[in-house]
Structure 1
Amino acid sequence: MIRKFDRHSRRILKFPVVHPCEGISPATLLESLITLSHDICDFQFKPLASQRRNARETLRQISILSLFFEEIREHAPSMSDSIILCLSELHVTLQRIQLLLSDCARDGAKMLILMRSHSVATQFRSLIRTIATALDVLPLDAIRVPGDIKEVVEMLRKQARRARMEVDAADEAATKRVLLVLNQFENRFEPDPFMIRRVLGYLHINSWLECHKEIRFLEDEICAGYLDGDEREVPLLSSLIGLLSYCRGVLFEDYDVEVINQSDARGSNVEVLNCLNPEDFRCPISLELMTDPVTVATGQTYDRVSIQKWLKSGNFVCPKTGEKLTSTELVPNTSLKKLIQQFCAEYGVSMAKSSKNNRDISRTILPGSPANAAAVKFLSEYLTLSLGYGNDRQKSKAAYEIRLLAKSNLFNRCCLIESGSIPPLLELLDSTDPTMQENAVSALLKLSKQPRGQKSIIENGGLNSVLAVLKHGQKPESKQIAAAIIFYLASIHEQRKKIGENKETIPSLLELIRHGNPCGKKNAVVALFALLFYHRNRDRAIAAGAVATLLGLLESSDRAEVKTDTLAVLSRLADSFDGSAQIMEAAIPSILRLLYAIETQAGKEYCVSILHSLCLNCGADVVSVLVRDASLMTALYSLVTEGTSHAGRKARSLIKILHRFCETRSSDHKRELRPEQDQFVDVW
């Protein structure tokens, strides 16, 4: 049997094949050859943007081979080993041809195939010559087929040997036009739209959606190149992305709303990870992004591969602290791994299988090529002008394009901020058109991830506009995105006080937690988390009823990550006496249940942090409840050995508090008993 492979798992113009197994029956081999040749001939019904002449000649030759395979099918049992060997070589070659034609007809790959015209033509020529070689050694006289079929196969062999398979003149001209446009961008000249339209028309890229597919495909190619450690084509691919992004934003008036809805479906959630320094995701040993973080006995976290090499070399101390390791057990840090994966998804970072293939997380700070840099700058200026002076349709589309451009590219965000796009975007937040408002607030969300974008929003009075959307947004999606913007604005230390002092901020976030959709609740929770880094905002949140609202969310939500984020906020509120008092009255049993049941390690750590704060602020009233829980000590000791260093410190401190309380109570009990005992002895 001949196995198949997954064509979608390979990179473009890479041709893995399956060799026929040794001892395969001639009948099975022929059936597979006939099926392959029929599949290849079906490409005549698929439109090709380039390589049309080479593909047409290849299909003609394969159709002849298909007839030949069908003719010899009846005589398969009597085939010699030499015939089977030649047919096996043809089978491998036909697979490569099928893959090459699939790439030429691939949706989204039109521009890239055109720019690789010479390489693709060489592939066609090489594969056709391979067919000629296989037919050269095929003992045609030993195969019982009609004479006219043999003559046709012989003619095919000669034609395959002489086939030139060169780049078509029209493809060559289109390629030169693309290079000319890229050169104009590189020299900071805005190209002639007529010339660009000629190229797009030649490639049948006739709509906004087709242009968008080309961009997405090229972005995937860049990611695949970094993953494979092959960055040679990044400048060309980046230049083509810049050109097509310019075309999508400037030359096409319509756009597809579903595209951004699908691509933002996962990205609209804001995670607490954004409060962390990305450098925390690097292994202290290799300094590379950790792909499989594990925690050692001292509570420090390393990448599994790096710490295993350290231990195998005979080192039994913690590389970071120098402490002797009491155990060499490596505990998977699943919470941190999830944070790293979410960070990579947010910023377009590929997690490689080995540390040497990890991409620099700041890769998108650079444009990739001078042509791409100029194209994005021209496009940013155009979109900013459209936001300010276009009609409603043009304004909405410009905001939509900014959403796409700024989604996971730091350089694009910088260009858009420099072009002055934030002030007109803020004006669109007042729109009564739900789509326009959503596009504007989503674009601002992407730009608010940059410090300069955050500063621009604040300086242009954007906080009140964002809060208005948070309270009265036309769509639930707009409200949840507004909450995410609050989170990013609150990441600036100087702004937390100002944001919290606005009387609308915290009540609006709590209202979204109570009545928003699941994503809105989560975004509001993490926005509140960021605000609580300023201590006075804790008092404001407590006064606004944050404790009761968050406890209600803990009870109603069934998502572990939401519970973890909620516990993170409660742990901050519990640092104050009023917060601890409110939590103590209503939630000690709930916190204990979550400590034992929640799946995330971070969630357990936050539970311990809350209990620790309750003990410090509320004293014996809380400790007396905790000491009666027989399972608590086991959970605390588990965190001491398996949790992070911070969690270990909290757990050890709480254990000491509980032990001290038990010892004190035991001493008091003895003192109460001693007078009675003495009296009893005297009487006796």
Structure 2
Amino acid sequence: MIQKYGQSDRRILKFPAVHPCEGISPATLLDSLITLSRNICSYQSKFVATQRRNARETLRQIGILLIFLEEIKDRGTNLPESVVLCFSELHIAFQKILFLFEDCSLDGARLWILMKSHFVATQFRVLIRTVATALDVLPLPTIDVPSEIKELVELVSKQARKAKLELDPDDETAMNRVILILNQFENRFEPDKNLVKRVLDYLEIRSWRECHGEVQFLDEMISLECLEGNEKEQPLLSSLFGFMSYCRGALFETREHGIVEQSDSDGRCNHEMLSCLNPEDFRCPISLELMTDPVTVSTGQTYDRASIQKWLKAGNLICPKTGEKLTNTEMVPNYSLRKLIEQFFADNGISLAKSRKKNRDITRTITAGSPAAAGAVKFLSEFLADRLYYGTDEQKNKAAYEVRLLAKSNIFSRSCLVEAGCVPPLLGLLSSADDPSTQGNAISALLKLSKHGAGKKAIIENGGLRPILGVLKNGLNPEHRQIAAATIFYLASVPDYRRLIGREPDAIPALVELIKEGSACGKKNAVAAIFGLLLHAGNHRRVLEAGAVPELVHILLAPSNKAELITDSLAVLSTLAETAEGSIAVLQISPLPLFVGILRSSASRAGKEYCVSILLAVCRNCGGEAVAGLEKEPSLMPLLYSLVTDGTSQSSKRARSLIKILHDFHESSSSASPASAVPQEWFIHVR
């Protein structure tokens, strides 16, 4: 976990002390030492779960030195250079001691500090010895303070040299219990819950909130270690994460409401939500790079051809993402996805650097991280599935909530939850629950599980489409409707499911209704889901018949909508306009100058490309009247020439095609009627 200390960031159990500058005045150095000492002594009133003996001894010695330093300040004593040098060494030691106390009392880090007890005890011993060394060379006779205070300082110096700051036996006992529990998880034995509770009681983790804090801290630590490429600590961190996740879900019967709802609101526009322009949807799970040649394997997962070939040549016969055994090594080109990648991410100005970190964070969870973590998550998944089937209403609600937490950004946990059979009872809660909290937790959990290949399959095979559509149409909370739309988006990533969803008479109309009445995020999720469904050609007519075009155009006309939502809406309109029916619908609802205006004002390169695509498609499909209207737009030609020189290869190509149509029309219009000004094979006239 990164903590803020002043203006810098510091990792736990790292001690970046700064040496005072050479020209520092004695008075400034003394004031800083007093401040550090007071800050350290303030930890007498703070809870420290472990290292209690070492903490008490250190606080006692620093407290005596604080009296000494305050006495020097009160007397206004001039300090000789030799004293300043000693105080500079004390200043470094005091900084590190303060860091150590901050870490030992850090919320969420109790279990981690316990497991690092040997290291922490060594740090206490080394730092107190450093204080003793500085005091040994301190010229006390040159400092004007009372003799009794000098005697106290000498006593501290002697005690610091002899202090046996060692590992507390109680800490060692608790640490060994944790190791025993982890070994039991690793060997697929569920530990005695009384033994687990003894560890939690020792660390004074006595509520769901405190346990959740430990899980969050460990998850952050794993992410940071992964980001820095440090694999040394990851197995232990993963084991502890699995252990505390098990405790949170299986040992604490009640939870504090409102904790995760504030930070993990699935229906809000955060990193969990969807966008047609999310580069993570187009990265290879193996290489983490944008796929240039996406192929689909027998499990239905898609990878870049070069990456999956390398994986198979290494002798691996399982799907890297799901862990399922591959029935064959055939790789089917995913032309639809390739088209999307070319259309959306060909140099459209989206930064991939920021998204790279997040993608690493999720791909690191394809496996459990350690055998102990795998055992803990599997036991917890089975426990939660049992609660979802046979628990009381409140227990089912909490179990759905725990599934939602466990499946968040963790691929291995999703696979365990699906395998344990959590999907069917979660689907049952959607239609049977009249409690908004239960329905919200259930649909949020299903959204997380729908991101896993096995989760999609389990939802469809257990008849989950109808209850999810029920939430989409009549959810007890508007947020639930937009989460249902997000779930439809993920289900639509499977070609067969696009066809299946499209055939449901209520599916596409419900998404269009959400575009009309939903919040900004509801609109965004519905637009994304419709785009996914349009990858099946048979759904084009259904989307048009549901009245999607007027609602999408309304989004373009509303000045309050965010640029991302406008760009996503343009992407759907561009796809619809590829067919004659779609072009006709677009032309009948919206004047073409609207797209010219967006082309002129949009800061999104992708948005500009979609506008050109729409204009080109309408001109090709809707006849000379459409071309005649565009030819009268004086600002269009400069915009198109700008795209030819500065746009992506795709937008440049389309801009050139549109320029040619307009030029041909202009040249022919002086000698022919507008209806015949453009070659008729380009058009299907609007009747």
**TM-score scaled by length of structure 2:** 0.85
* 1:578 match: 581
Question: Does the 8 A contact of 1:113 with 1:120 survive in 2?
Answer: yes
CA RMSD of aligned residues (A): 2.2
* 1:511 match: 513
Query: CA–CA distance in 1 between the matches of 2:9 and 2:32?
Result: 22
Q: Percent identity?
A: 54
Give 1:332 shift.
12
**Amino acid aligned to 2:350:** L
Match of 1:542, SS? helix
Match of 2:191, SS? coil
Match of 2:619, SS? helix
- Relative distance call for 1:343 and 1:386 in structure 2 (3 A) is farther
Match of 2:368, SS? coil
- Relative distance call for 1:82 and 1:369 in structure 2 (3 A) is same
Query: CA–CA distance in 1 between the matches of 2:224 and 2:465?
Result: 39
Structural mapping, 1:645-684, within 5 Å: 645-666=649-670, 668=672
| Offset from partner CA, 1:105-153 (integer Å, 9 cap, x none) | 0000000000000000000011101101111111111111111111111
Give 1:590 shift.
1.6
Give 1:651 shift.
2.0
Question: Does the 8 A contact of 2:208 with 2:256 survive in 1?
Answer: yes
Structural mapping, 1:40-51, within 5 Å: 40-51=40-51
Query: CA–CA distance in 1 between the matches of 2:365 and 2:482?
Result: 26
Match of 1:160, SS? helix
Kindly indicate whether residue 492 of structure 2 is the aligned counterpart of residue 501 of structure 1. no
Question: Does the 8 A contact of 1:639 with 1:651 survive in 2?
Answer: yes
Moved more, 552-561 or 138-147: 552-561
Unaligned stretches of 5+ residues in structure 2: 293-344, 677-687
**Alignment partner for residue 605 of structure 2, among 601, 605, 613?**
601
* 1:478 match: 480
Kindly indicate whether residue 363 of structure 2 is the aligned counterpart of residue 362 of structure 1. yes
Query: CA–CA distance in 2 between the matches of 1:283 and 1:24?
Result: 53
**Amino acid aligned to 1:213:** G
Structural mapping, 1:498-647, within 5 Å: 498-556=500-558, 557-585=560-588, 586-647=590-651
Query: CA–CA distance in 2 between the matches of 1:17 and 1:334?
Result: 44
- Detail structure 1 runs of 4+ shifted over 6 Å in the superposition: none
Question: Does the 8 A contact of 2:34 with 2:69 survive in 1?
Answer: yes
Query: CA–CA distance in 1 between the matches of 2:7 and 2:425?
Result: 45
Give 1:6 shift.
3.2
Question: Does the 8 A contact of 1:177 with 1:195 survive in 2?
Answer: yes
Match of 1:654, SS? helix
Give 1:645 shift.
2.6
* 2:446 match: 444
Give 1:580 shift.
1.1
Question: Does the 8 A contact of 1:26 with 1:77 survive in 2?
Answer: no
* 2:351 match: 337
Unaligned stretches of 5+ residues in structure 1: 286-330, 351-360, 673-684
Give 1:32 shift.
1.0
Query: CA–CA distance in 2 between the matches of 1:205 and 1:8?
Result: 30
| Offset from partner CA, 1:252-285 (integer Å, 9 cap, x none) | 0112332221232324521223794313962799
**Amino acid aligned to 2:408:** K
**Alignment partner for residue 277 of structure 1, among 269, 276, 282?**
282
Match of 1:429, SS? helix
- Relative distance call for 1:132 and 1:121 in structure 2 (3 A) is same
Query: CA–CA distance in 2 between the matches of 1:667 and 1:233?
Result: 79
**Amino acid aligned to 1:52:** R
Question: Does the 8 A contact of 1:26 with 1:76 survive in 2?
Answer: no
Question: Does the 8 A contact of 2:593 with 2:630 survive in 1?
Answer: no
Question: Does the 8 A contact of 1:551 with 1:587 survive in 2?
Answer: no
Give the paired residue count: 609
Give 1:544 shift.
1.5
| Offset from partner CA, 1:361-382 (integer Å, 9 cap, x none) | 6321010000000100011011
Question: Does the 8 A contact of 1:438 with 1:478 survive in 2?
Answer: yes
Query: CA–CA distance in 2 between the matches of 1:134 and 1:667?
Result: 99
**Amino acid aligned to 1:392:** D
Query: CA–CA distance in 2 between the matches of 1:264 and 1:665?
Result: 59
**Amino acid aligned to 1:23:** G
Structural mapping, 1:209-288, within 5 Å: 209-265=209-265, 266-272=270-276, 273=278, 276-279=281-284, 282=289
Question: Does the 8 A contact of 1:275 with 1:491 survive in 2?
Answer: no
Question: Does the 8 A contact of 2:282 with 2:290 survive in 1?
Answer: no
Give 1:76 shift.
5.2
Query: CA–CA distance in 1 between the matches of 2:511 and 2:527?
Result: 8
Structural mapping, 1:297-308, within 5 Å: none
**Amino acid aligned to 1:506:** I
**TM-score scaled by length of structure 1:** 0.86
**Alignment partner for residue 465 of structure 2, among 463, 466, 471?**
463
Query: CA–CA distance in 2 between the matches of 1:449 and 1:57?
Result: 52
